[in-house]
Amino acid sequence: MSNAKIRNMEQFAAVSGISRPTVSKYFHDPESVRASTRARIEEALEQYDYRPNIFAMNQNRKLTKNVGIVVPYLADPFFAEIARYLEQRCIAAGYRPSLFSSHGEQKLEMEILDSLRSLKPAGVLLAPLGRASDRSEVEKFCRDVPTVLFDSNLEGIGAAFVGSDNFSFVSQTVEYLTRTGAPPAFFEMKTPANPNANKRRIAYVSMMERLGFEPHVISIDGEGWAFEEIGRQGAAKVLQDGALPTDAVLCSNDRLAIGFLSAAYELGIRVGRTEACRLRVASNDDHPFARFTCPSLTTAAHDYDNVAGRSVETLFDLIESGGKFGTRTETLFPARLVLRDSA
């Protein structure tokens, strides 16, 4: 490593013995230059630590290497994990991801999309808030910026959607619960933040009917993204009122289930699949903490790897296609049932 300071591409081009426009081309795409010149540039790159000024680069580039990643609520470890996968894959593909969280607020989601515009990103991976999203504003954004939605679908918006197959989640948990005991009631928020919740309720009802059982949907009050607390309070009420029609409960998602189990514990109601237990509780998502609830949570797991992988693949395809697809595709990955102690 030479100690001569390289201040710009001009100087770096000089020491590498290659012309500046070619060096510029190299940084845009190393494969776009002949192998021998690439070698010479990379040799110089090892001797002098030069890196192009990203601001100057992005100023005139038609297409930047920026990618936006937007999740609705980063304090949910599920999204933190997904974000990690996505980041990783973007970096591996030579992109610069920027991570944003809407923190459950419409205003913030709008501000993020707004500031994302000025980043001139090549593409955006967006998990929208869902019900709280300003549909028409998100739609506008997607018209201007190549965007792949993930996790949470807004019908018709974005170039593509990649997520999990809610029917697969619910059908597996319902099937398992009915096969090994009583058919479950469905525990959910009355006004869920996320559109997946509605799909799950519908899947539950249809699955129960298909199996010849009466569906029981328990919709609890609560607004916002503090699902655990909402679940805890809702469950406490339901359990105290004796309003549970069955001894099996399927929660719409793991965070509600965490609250449910917490309430059950506080009321001294044993949950589990052993004889001594009054109640069985299962759920959906395989939240990072689902292993550590008491009892550990039986749940249907997202296919993190495939959802994240396909999301970025789709985005890269989209970018290479010039930002537009002929038709909007929706890709859904099935769940994997994870049996633990709660049901």
Partner DNA sequence: GCGTTTTCTTTGCGCGCGTAAAAATTTAGT
Partner DNA sequence: ACTAAATTTTTACGCGCGCAAAGAAAACGC
Shortest separation between residue 49's beta carbon and DNA, angstroms = 12
Helix (H, G, I), strand (E, B) or coil at 336: strand
Shortest separation between residue 181's beta carbon and its own copies, angstroms = 21
H helical segments located in the chain? 9-16, 20-28, 35-47, 54-60, 77-92, 106-117, 135-144, 166-180, 195-210, 227-240, 254-266, 304-320
* Partner whose footprint covers residue 229, from DNA, its own copies, none (CB < 5 to 8 Å by kind): its own copies
Q: Kindly tell me the burial class for residue 63, based on how many C-beta atoms sit within 10 Å of its own C-beta (0-12, 13-18, 19 or more).
A: middle
Window 27-56: contact mask with DNA (x via CB under 7 A): xx---xxx-xxx-------------xx--x
Binding residue (CB under 8 A) for its own copies from 6, 41, 83, 277:
83
Closer CB to its own copies, 119 or 332, in the complex = 119
Sheet holding 185-189, edge to edge: 217-220, 185-189, 248-251, 280-285, 298-301, 336-338
Binding residue (CB under 8 A) for its own copies from 107, 140, 291, 328:
291
Binding residue (CB under 8 A) for its own copies from 14, 45, 63, 74:
74
| Local structure of residue 271 (DSSP, 8 states) | B
Closer CB to DNA, 55 or 92, in the complex = 55
What would the two tokens of residue 207 be? 């699955």
| 86 close to 98: Cβ distance less than 8 angstroms | no
* Partner whose footprint covers residue 115, from its own copies, DNA, none (CB < 5 to 8 Å by kind): its own copies
| 148 close to 123: Cβ distance less than 8 angstroms | yes
Shortest separation between residue 22's beta carbon and DNA, angstroms = 3
Q: Dihedrals φ, ψ of 329, to 5°?
A: -105, 150
Window 225-254: contact mask with its own copies (x via CB under 8 A): ---xx--x----------------------
Residue 117 as a binder of DNA (CB under 7 A): the answer is: no
Chain contacts with its own copies (rule: CB under 8 A)? 51, 53-56, 58-59, 74-77, 80-81, 83-84, 96, 98-101, 103, 115, 118-120, 228-229, 232, 258-259, 261-262, 265-266, 288-289, 291-296, 341
